[in-house]
Structure 1
Amino acid sequence: MKFGFIAHPTSKELLHQVKLVDMAGRTLEEQAYGYDPERWRRRNLVPFIEFSRIVSACGAQCQGILQYMPLTAEQMLNQPRRIAERVVEGVNALKQQGAELVGLGGFTSIVGNRGLQTLERTQIPVTTGNSLTTYAAYVNLLDSLEALEIPPERAEIAVLGYPGSIALALACLLAPLGCRLRLVHRGGKQQAETLLAYLPAEFHGQVRLHAGLEDCYQQVRLFVAATSSGGVIDPRRLAPGSVVVDAALPKDVQPGWEKRDDILVIDGGLVSASEAVDFGAMALGLGPKRNINGCLAETMILALEGRAEPFSIGRELPADKVLEIGRIAARHGFLPRPMASRGEPVNEARFHELRRFHGGKPPAVNHVQDADALELRAEVLRCFGLHINPILREFYEFNHVERVFSHGQGCWLTDLDGRRYLDFVAGYGCLNTGHNHPDITAGVQHYLNQQHPTFVQYLSAPLHASLLAKRLAGLAPAGLERVFLSNSGTEAVEAALKLALAASDKPTLLYCSNGYHGKTLGALSVTGRAKHREAFEPLLPRCEEIPFGDIPALRARLRGGDVAAFIVEPIQGEGGVILPPAGYLSAVRELCSEYGCLWILDEIQTGLGRTGKMFACQWEDVSPDIMVLSKSLSGGLVPIGATLSSKEVWQRAYGNIDRFALHTSTFGGGNLAAAAAMAALDVVEQADLAGNAVQVGAHLRQGLEELARKHYFIKEVRGQGLMIAIEFQNDVADGIEAFVHDMTSRMPAKAAATYRMMPGKARAHLEAAMRELESTLADMFVLRIMTKLSQEHGILTFVTANNSRVMRIQPPLLLSLAEADRFIQALGEVCEDLSTFES
C-alpha cells in the first residue's frame, strides 16, 4: 500500500529548509534534463522524500510520498479558506501519484474543521494522525511520572489546548488514572458546563478549568501541551522542576527554555522506529528513524496495516482507538521511546536532577556509605555534569565510559556496578606504585595517628618535608641538592621557570615543539601545542620554540647568548611518547654548559622508575641544573610536586635575605604529602619497580610489535620501560570528496559544474570542513578501540593530550607478566574485530 503525507514547516528556519530543497531539486532536474518552463511553475506542494519501501518489524511493507505545504502556521492562519483548498488540491494530487491514504500533518490537519471537510471533499481517505500523536504524548507523560517517582493519582497536570482533539483525548486517558487535571482552554465566554460536557461526569471532580496559564505557572510542575496556535508557555515563568510534554506544532513553549537547567521540555508526540524497521537502502545508516512526528508515523502504520481509512478525524479521538494505534505501532516497531528534548535523547539522569523539586529522595551522594549503587552512580554523574564539567560528562556518555570507580587496588579498579578493570592509564603516570599500595597507605595512616602538624612552613623547619628533601637529593642525579616542594607538576614547572629567571641575567626561555609542561600560565608558555595555548594568549613574553631532538637547532639558538633556560622532557609524554635520538640529553648538557644556559629537565612523567631507571636522564648519565618531579611522587595518594636544583643555581636566585622567600607555597612542603612521598619512594626502591618496568615493558612491547606487524592500522609501537605508546593510523584523507564525487557522478544532474559555479570562498570553506571532518573521524577510530577495550575486556586506556591517535600505555610499574599478556590478548581481539579492510 502507498501513502501520501502533507507536512508543513513549523518554524521560519524549517521553511527556509523547504525553500532550499525546492530550489536544489528544480536546479538538479534542469541540469539533468534541460530547461523546461514547466519545471519553474508555481507549486502547491514541494516534493521532499519518496519512500520506495518501508519494512516493519513484523515484515509488513508499504511505500510513501512526503511533500511539504510551504507555509508556516502563521501564514496559514492568515488565509484559512485558501489553505483548505490547497490541502484538498494536494490530497488529490497525491492520489494521482498512487497514494491510497493521505496523512495531514500539524496545521494542515486543522484547516477544514479538523480534517472533516477535507475528507468530505477528497477522493481518498485522509487521517490527521492525531491518535498516535496523542498516544505518544500520553506515554511520554507516564514515563516522566515514573522517572520522577510520582504516582499518577498524586500527579497534578495542566493540559493545554482543551477541548482540542489531542488535549481532550489526553484528558480522557489521564483522568481514569486518578490524575488531577487543570484544563487550560481558550473558550472565551463558554460556560464551564459546556466545556466539562466533553468529559464523562465521573471525572468532573478531578478537573479545574482555566482560561489561561496565569494560575498554573507557580502551582503546577507537569504540563502537556497540544494547542494549535503555539508559543503559549513562557519558560521564564515555569516553576523549577517543571516538565512539559510539548506535543504541539508549532511548539507551545516559547524559545529560551533551553537556557534553564531546572526545567525539561519533552518533544512530545514523537515515535522512533526500532532497529528492525527498514526504510530502504540508506547509505551510512541515515534512514529517518528517530523522532518521527506521530501524524506521519500513524499514516505509515495504517499503510503497513493496509488500512486505507480515516482513523483520526474530527474533535473526538476515542481513548480505545488511541490505545489501539499505540499497540499496532509497537507491533510494527514504532515506539514513543526514547523521549527526546531538542531532538536528543533524554536519559534517566536528567529526570534525576528534577526529582528534588517534586519531593523526591535526597541526593544519594549525601549518604555514600548506605546508598544504592545505581542511585549513587546516577547522582555522582549528575553532580559532575552540573557542577564540574558538563562537556566532559557528555564525552563520557558519547564514548560509553560513564563509570564511577569506588575501589582501587594495585593495577585494578572496581566501579559502583561491581565490574573490575585493568588500569593501563594509572592516573596519567601518577600511580607507579599502583592504587592504594598497602605500604604507602600504612605510612599515611601512621602519620595521621601520630597527630603530626601538617602545615608549619615558615614557622619552623617541617619535619617530614625536610627529611623528604634529603631523600630526594640523595636519589637525584649528581648536583641536585636543593628542593622546593609544591602541590603538582605544573607548580613544579612554575617554580623551575622562576628559579631560572631569578638566577640568570638573560631574558629568554626556550622550549620544544610538541612538548607539554602543564596548564598554568607560566607552564603553558613553554608548552608546545597551540590548542592548549590559544585561548590564553598573550602568554609570557620571550618564550621561544625549537624542534624536539634537534641539536643543531638548539646550538644555533643558544649562540644568540640571551637564553636563560632550556626546558625539555627526556621523552615527550603527552606529545605521543616521542623519544629523542640517542645521545640527545648528553648533547643538551654539553651545549647548555658551553653557552651558560640553565637546563631544566621535566621528569614529571618519566621519573621514579617509569622508563626503567629512577630518572630517565640516568640512561645517559647526565644531570640537569634544575629537575621537576610530581605525579607518582606520593604514590598518587596526596598531591605533591618537587623542583630540584643545584645549590649554585639556588644561591644565585634566592641566596640572600632579600630574596629567600620570593617563591613560596601555602600548601607546598606539607608534612602529610612528604610522609606519603617517603613511603612511596620506599616502595619504588625496595620493590625494584624500575627493574620490573624494564622486564615487563620489554615483554609488552614485543607482544604489541607482533600485533603491529599483523594490522596495518597500528602505525608504530614505541617507548621505554613501561612508558609505551601505540600510534594508530586509519587514513581516510580525501574519502569524503571521493564519496561525494562518486555519488554525484551517478546522478543525472551536473554536480561538478554546480561546484565550479560556487564562489571561491564557499569552496574553500567546504574543502576545509571536509578535511577537518576526515581528521576527526580518523581520531575517533582510536576512541572506538578504547571503548571496545573497556566495554568488552575491562581494560582502561586513553589517548595522549597532544595526539588523539596515540594510545598511552602507562600502567602501574608493578604490572605482572600475566596482566601484560591479558592486555596483549584483548588488544589483539579488538584489532581482529576492526580488521575489515585488511587482506
Structure 2
Amino acid sequence: MRFGFIAHPTSPPLKRYVKMLDLVQRSSHDFQSGYSRDLWSRSNLVPFMNFDRVVSANGSEAKGEVRYLPLTAEEMLKDPSGSLRRVIEGAEIYASEGVDIVGLGGFTSIVGRRGADVAAASPVPVTSGNSLTAYAGYRALCQILDWMELRPNDHRVAIVGYPGSIALVIARLLLEEGLELDLVHRPGASAEDMLEHLPERWHNRVRLSGDIGDFYSEDRLFIAATSAGGIIDPSRLLPGSIVIDVALPRDVSEHDAATRDDILIVDGGCVTASDKVRMGGESLNLSIKQQLNACLAETMILALEQRAEIYSIGRTLETEKVLAIGEIAQRHGFAPDPLASYGRRIEPAHVASLRRYHCNGHRLNGGAPTPSPSAGDLRSREHHDTALRFRRHINPYLADFLQMLHCDRVFEKAKGAVLTDTEGRDYLDFVAGYGCLNLGHNPPAITGALQDFLSGDNPNFVQYVSFPKQTSLLAERLSARVGGGLERVFFSNSGTEAVEAALKLARAASPHDRIVHVQNSYHGKTLGALSVTGREKHQRFFRPLVPGVEAVPFDDLDAIENALRGGDVAALILEPILGEGGVLVPSDGYLKSARTLCDRYGAFLILDEIQTGMGRTGRFLASEWEEVQADILCLSKSLSGGLMPIGATLTRADIWDRAYGTSDRFLAHSSTFGGGNMAATAALATLDAFEDGAIIANALDVGESLRTRLREVAVNFPFIGEIRGKGMMLAVAFESDFSGAVAAGAHEFATRLPGDWHMTWKFLPDQIRQNLLDAMRHFEGTLGEMFCMRFVTKLAQDHAILTFLTANSSTVIRLQPPLILTHEQAGRFATAFEETCRDMSTFLN
C-alpha cells in the first residue's frame, strides 16, 4: 500500500531548510535534464523524503512519500481557509498519483475542524496521526513515572490544551489509570462546558482553569498539547518539573537549558523504529528512524496494515483506538522509546535524579512507604546520582564525552591493578591515574602509614610556623635517593606546580630569562608550565603566555645547540621520554649530549621526571639510563603512592642560594599546602616501598616482556604503526589512514547524482572552497582518532581493560599500568590486544 504525508515546517529556520532542499532538488533536475518552465514554477507541496520500501519488524511492506506544505503554523492561522484549500489540493494530488491513504502532519491536521473538512473532501482516506501521537505522549509519562518509581495516584498531572483532541484523549487515559488531573483550557471558557467532555464519574478528580499559572506552584508533571505553542514558561516551573511537550510548535517557550537544569522537557508525540525496521535505501546504518513524529508513523503503520481508512479525525479520539494503534505500532517495530529532549536521548539516570523533588521523605505525597530498594538498585541509583552531579557541577562536556565513548562508569572499589565499578565488574587498570599509581590502588604500606599518622594526632600544616618533622625527613630521603648534589627541595601539590617552581627557580638564579623546551612536550597547564608545553591545542585559549620561551624539535641536538649558543638561556627543560607527546623515546645519548650543551653554554638543565620517574621505566629516574644529573629535577604523581597530592622540585644548594639565599628572597616562592606532614608521610612510605628494588625490577621485566609480545602481534596488523616505550611506560601508535577519504566520497557523490554537480564545486567562492577543503582534512584526521578511540572502547567493553589516549596525540594509546603488574595480567592484556586487533581488522589500511 502507498501512503502520502503532508508535513509543515514548525519554525522559520525549518521552513528555510525546506526551501534549501527545494532549491537543491530543482537544481539537480536542471543539471540532469536542462531548464524547463514547469520545473521552476510554483508548487503547492515540496517533495521532502521518499520511503521507497518500508519493511516493518513483522515483514509487512509499504511505500510512500513525505511532502511539505511550506507554511508555518503562524502563517496557516493567518489564512486558515486558504491553508485548508492547499491541504485538500495536496490530498487530491496524492490521490491522482495512486496513494491509498494520506497523513496530515501537525498543523495541517488542525485546519478544517481538526481534519474533518479534509476528510470530507479528500478522494482517499486521511488520518491526522493524533491517535499514535496521544499514545506516545501517554506512554512517555508512564515511562517517566516508572523511572522515578512514582505511584501514579500520588501525583497530579497538569494537561495543557484541553479539550483538544490529543489532550482530551490523554486525559481520559490517565483518568482511567486513577490519576487526578489539572486541566488547562482556553481562557474565558466555561468550566461547566469543559466538564461536558468527560463522564460525570470523573468530575471530582479534575480541576480546571484557563490560566496555567494556577498550577505552576503545585504541579511538577505536565503534558502539553495545544495548537498555539509557547504556552508554558519554563522559568516558573518548580524544580523537578517534567513536561511532556507533544505540541508542534512547542508549548514550552524557548529557554536556555543551562539556566534550568533542574527541569526536563520531553519531546512528546514521537516514536522510534527498531533495528528490525527497514526504511528503504539505507546506507551505513543511516536512515530516518529515530524520533519520528507519531503522526507520520501512524500513517505509515496504517499502510503497513493495509488499512486505507479514516482513523484519527475530529476532536474526540477513542481511547480504545489510541491503545490499539499503539499496540499495532509495537508489533511493527515502532515504540515511543527511547525518550528525547530537544532531540537528545534522555538517560534514565537523569530522570531518576529528579525523583527527590517529587518525594516527601520515604512517602510520596503522604502515600504508603515505597518498597526498600535492593542492593543492585542502590548501586545503580548511586551511579546515576554521581553521573548527574558530575554533569551538573563539574564538567557537562566531559560528561558527554565519557558517555559517548562508553567511559561513563563509576568505580566504587580499587585494589592493586584492579578497579571495580558499581555493577560489580572488575577492570584491569592500564591507565593508573596517568602515572600516579605506580604502586597500584590503595597500596597497604601507604594506606597504613597514613592511618597511623591520622590516629596519632600528628600536626599537618605547620610548615611556616615550625620545622615540619616528616617533611624535613622526606627532603633528606629524596636528596639521598636522587643524588647528584640535589640537596634542596621545594614541596608543592602537583606536577605542574613542581614545573612552575623549577621555571621560577631557574630565572631567579640566572642572569637570563629565556627558557627552551621541546615541541610536543607536556609539562602542565598552569600558565608557566603551559608556556613550555609544546602543543598549540592546550595553549591557544590562554595567550599571551609567559614571554621569552622558545621551542625546538624533539630529539634534535643541533636545534638545542642553536637555541643555547647565544649564552642567554636560563634553562632547557626536557622530559627523558615524551609522555603525553605519544611516549616518544629519544635517541641513545640524547640526554647526555643535552647535559653537555647546557654546561657549555651556561644554561640549567631541568628534567621533568613527573611521569618517567618513580621506577616507571625500569630505573628510579629515567635519566639514570644515561647517568645524567639535572640541575633542577621535578617529581610528582607517584611520589605519594597516588594517595596524596604532592610535587617536589629538587636542586643544588648553590642554585637555590643564588635564587633565594637572601633575607628578601627566602620566601619569594611558597605554597600554602605544599610541604604538609601527611603528604610527606605518604611519600616516605612510598620511598620505603622502592627501597629493595623489587618493584623497579618488576617494571622492567614485565614491561619489556609485554612490549615484545605486543610487537609480535602488531606485525600482523598494518594499522598498528609502532609499539614503543621503555619499562612499563609503553604506547601503541596507530596508523589508520583516512587521507583523501572525504574528497573521494564527495567526488563519487557528485558523479553519481543526476547532472553535473562538479560544476557547482567549480564555481563556489574561493573562500568557501578553501574552508571545505580544510574541513575535509580535519575530519579525515578525526576519523583516525575515532578509530583509535574505538579500540580503547573495545578493550574496556569486551575485555574489561582500561586504557586511554595520550594528551598530545589522539592516535596513541598509553599503557602505564601499576608497576606491580604481574606476568599473568600482562598476558591477559596481550591476548585482549590481539583479539581487538583482529576484530578491528576489516580494513588493513
TM-score bracket, shorter-length normalisation = over 0.9
CA RMSD, 1 decimal: 1.5
Deviation, structure 1 residue 220? 1.6
- Hey, what's the Cα distance between the residues in 1 that align with 2:609 and 2:738? 36
What is the aligned partner in structure 1 of residue 105 from structure 2?
105
What is the aligned partner in structure 2 of residue 610 from structure 1?
616
Query: SS at the partner of 1:283?
Result: coil
What is the aligned partner in structure 2 of residue 495 from structure 1?
501
Deviations 1:300-343 (A, max 9, x none): 00000000001111111000000000000000000000111010
- Hey, what's the Cα distance between the residues in 2 that align with 1:149 and 1:690? 52
1:711 matches 2:721: no
Query: SS at the partner of 1:64?
Result: strand
1:222 matches 2:221: yes
Kept in 2, the 8 Å contact 1:6–1:68? The answer is: yes
Kept in 2, the 8 Å contact 1:129–1:295? The answer is: yes
Kept in 2, the 8 Å contact 1:494–1:522? The answer is: yes
2:247 maps to a residue whose letter is: A
What is the aligned partner in structure 1 of residue 194 from structure 2?
195
Query: SS at the partner of 1:459?
Result: coil
Query: SS at the partner of 1:285?
Result: coil
- Hey, what's the Cα distance between the residues in 1 that align with 2:710 and 2:376? 43
Deviations 1:226-263 (A, max 9, x none): 11111111222222221111101111111115231111
Structure 1 residue runs of 4+, over 3 Å off?
A: 367-371
Deviations 1:778-829 (A, max 9, x none): 1011111111111111100000000010000100111111111100000111
What is the aligned partner in structure 2 of residue 15 from structure 1?
15
Greater displacement, 602-611 / 471-480: 471-480
Aligned match of 1:505 in 493, 504, 511?
511
- Hey, what's the Cα distance between the residues in 2 that align with 1:824 and 1:660? 52
- Hey, what's the Cα distance between the residues in 2 that align with 1:691 and 1:222? 63
Aligned match of 2:586 in 580, 589, 597?
580
Kept in 1, the 8 Å contact 2:129–2:296? The answer is: yes
What is the aligned partner in structure 1 of residue 347 from structure 2?
347
Deviations 1:117-150 (A, max 9, x none): 1111111000000000000000011112222332
What is the aligned partner in structure 2 of residue 740 from structure 1?
746
2:557 maps to a residue whose letter is: I
Deviation, structure 1 residue 449? 2.5
Deviations 1:251-282 (A, max 9, x none): 11111152311111111000000011011132
- Hey, what's the Cα distance between the residues in 2 that align with 1:440 and 1:621? 29
What is the aligned partner in structure 2 of residue 236 from structure 1?
235
Cα distance, 1:35–1:351 mapped onto 2, change above 3 Å:
same
- Hey, what's the Cα distance between the residues in 1 that align with 2:443 and 2:824? 19
1:43 matches 2:59: no
Cα distance, 1:368–1:475 mapped onto 2, change above 3 Å:
farther
2:576 maps to a residue whose letter is: P
Gaps of 5+ in 1: none
- Hey, what's the Cα distance between the residues in 2 that align with 1:426 and 1:825? 20
What is the aligned partner in structure 1 of residue 338 from structure 2?
338
Aligned match of 2:758 in 748, 752, 755?
752
Greater displacement, 346-355 / 502-511: 346-355
Cα distance, 1:599–1:187 mapped onto 2, change above 3 Å:
closer
- Hey, what's the Cα distance between the residues in 1 that align with 2:43 and 2:261? 43
Aligned match of 1:568 in 567, 574, 578?
574
Kept in 2, the 8 Å contact 1:477–1:622? The answer is: no
Gaps of 5+ in 2: 363-372
- Hey, what's the Cα distance between the residues in 2 that align with 1:828 and 1:263? 46
Kept in 1, the 8 Å contact 2:52–2:281? The answer is: no
Query: SS at the partner of 1:37?
Result: coil
What is the aligned partner in structure 2 of residue 164 from structure 1?
164
Deviation, structure 1 residue 98? 2.1
What is the aligned partner in structure 1 of residue 444 from structure 2?
438
- Hey, what's the Cα distance between the residues in 2 that align with 1:16 and 1:126? 27
**Aligned pairs, number:** 834
1:152 matches 2:158: no
What is the aligned partner in structure 1 of residue 274 from structure 2?
274
- Hey, what's the Cα distance between the residues in 2 that align with 1:800 and 1:322? 54
1:451-530 correspondence runs (5 A) = 451-530=457-536
Kept in 2, the 8 Å contact 1:271–1:334? The answer is: yes
What is the aligned partner in structure 2 of residue 778 from structure 1?
784
Aligned match of 1:657 in 635, 639, 663?
663
What is the aligned partner in structure 2 of residue 407 from structure 1?
413
Cα distance, 1:782–1:651 mapped onto 2, change above 3 Å:
same
Deviation, structure 1 residue 658? 2.1
Kept in 2, the 8 Å contact 1:235–1:257? The answer is: no
Deviation, structure 1 residue 219? 2.0
2:764 maps to a residue whose letter is: M
Cα distance, 1:141–1:257 mapped onto 2, change above 3 Å:
farther
Deviation, structure 1 residue 371? 8.9
2:124 maps to a residue whose letter is: I
Kept in 2, the 8 Å contact 1:7–1:108? The answer is: yes
- Hey, what's the Cα distance between the residues in 2 that align with 1:827 and 1:137? 46
Kept in 1, the 8 Å contact 2:182–2:208? The answer is: yes
Greater displacement, 573-582 / 736-745: 736-745
1:768 matches 2:774: yes
- Hey, what's the Cα distance between the residues in 2 that align with 1:166 and 1:360? 32
Deviations 1:369-407 (A, max 9, x none): 999211111111111111111111111111111211111
Deviation, structure 1 residue 651? 1.1
Deviations 1:84-135 (A, max 9, x none): 1111110011112221000000111111111111111111000000000000
What is the aligned partner in structure 2 of residue 728 from structure 1?
734
Kept in 1, the 8 Å contact 2:51–2:279? The answer is: yes
What is the aligned partner in structure 2 of residue 622 from structure 1?
628
1:203 maps to a residue whose letter is: W
Query: SS at the partner of 1:801?
Result: coil
Cα distance, 1:393–1:32 mapped onto 2, change above 3 Å:
same
Deviation, structure 1 residue 482? 1.1
Deviations 1:60-101 (A, max 9, x none): 010011000000011111111111111111001111222100
Kept in 1, the 8 Å contact 2:2–2:99? The answer is: yes
What is the aligned partner in structure 2 of residue 77 from structure 1?
77
Deviation, structure 1 residue 451? 2.1
Kept in 1, the 8 Å contact 2:8–2:107? The answer is: yes
What is the aligned partner in structure 2 of residue 181 from structure 1?
181
Query: SS at the partner of 1:32?
Result: helix
Kept in 1, the 8 Å contact 2:581–2:809? The answer is: yes
Kept in 1, the 8 Å contact 2:353–2:384? The answer is: no
Cα distance, 1:65–1:570 mapped onto 2, change above 3 Å:
same
Deviation, structure 1 residue 187? 5.8
2:540 maps to a residue whose letter is: E
1:694 maps to a residue whose letter is: L
Cα distance, 1:381–1:154 mapped onto 2, change above 3 Å:
same
Kept in 2, the 8 Å contact 1:355–1:361? The answer is: no
- Hey, what's the Cα distance between the residues in 2 that align with 1:619 and 1:585? 9
What is the aligned partner in structure 1 of residue 126 from structure 2?
126
What is the aligned partner in structure 1 of residue 368 from structure 2?
none
What is the aligned partner in structure 1 of residue 545 from structure 2?
539
Aligned match of 1:634 in 619, 625, 640?
640
Deviation, structure 1 residue 222? 1.2
Kept in 1, the 8 Å contact 2:743–2:776? The answer is: yes
- Hey, what's the Cα distance between the residues in 2 that align with 1:521 and 1:211? 58
Deviation, structure 1 residue 360? 6.1
Cα distance, 1:38–1:139 mapped onto 2, change above 3 Å:
same
Deviations 1:143-187 (A, max 9, x none): 122223321111211111111110110111111222111111116
Deviation, structure 1 residue 837? 1.4
Kept in 2, the 8 Å contact 1:433–1:684? The answer is: no
What is the aligned partner in structure 2 of residue 676 from structure 1?
682
